[in-house]
Amino acid sequence: MVFEPDYENKNKPLSDKLPYTPYNMVLKWLYKIEDKFPDIWLDCCSIMENHIHLILVNLSQADTGTSVADVVQWFKTQTTNEYIRAVKSGLFKPYNKHLWQRSYYDHIIRNEEDLNMCRRYIEENPLLDHTKE
């Protein structure tokens, strides 16, 4: 599923009807990135079974704005803590490995062509056969 934020309704809950699953929990925290970091805009993302892809836009003109590392660390912390609480409550199955890899891959998007290529990759990635990886 490719997720495109609904910026007109971003302060509304995703839905009371969504089941509480790890996928929807991750989706919830993706929605909250902009609330936590007002200078960051979530352009698009795709949640896969074992990884996510996203494009973050830094709206700050200053070099002192929020870094990708700040966002990733916060996101990993929030999702890991909620996952642990859900496991302890019996809502999620235990997972004995790390939820997230220590590192991540980042890429600076330098122009419109690169942006469109990254967006297309994120949109099409769920359609690829990842069983061969």
Model confidence band, residue 130 (pLDDT cutoffs 50, 70, 90): low
Give pLDDT tens digits for 70-117.
999 999 999 999 999 999 999 999 988 889 999 999 999 999 999 999
Its pTM stands at 0.80
* Portion of the chain with pLDDT greater than 70, in percent: 83
What is the reported pLDDT for 41? 94
- 75 contacts 29 by C-beta, under 8 angstroms: yes
Burial class (CB in 10 A: 0-12, 13-18, 19+), 98: exposed
Residue 15 pLDDT level (bands cut at 50, 70, 90)? low
The pLDDT score that the predictor gives to residue 2 is 44
Angle at 123 between CA 118 and CA 127, to 5 degrees: 125
The share of the chain scoring above pLDDT 90, in percent, equals 64
Q: Domain-by-domain residue ranges, the chain?
A: 2-9+16-126
- Mean pLDDT for the stretch of residues 123-132: 70
Helix H, strand E, coil C: the string for the chain is: CEECCCHHHCCCCCCCCCCCCHHHHHHHHHHHHHHHCCCEEEEEEEECCCCEEEEEEECCCCCCCCCHHHHHHHHHHHHHHHHHHHHHCCCCCCCCCCCCCCCCCCCCCCCHHHHHHHHHHHHHHHHCCHHHC
- Residue 129: pLDDT over 60: no
Which residue did the predictor score with more confidence, 57 or 18?
57
The residue with tokens 């061969």 is 132
CA distances from 58 to 33, 51, 110 (A): 12, 22, 13
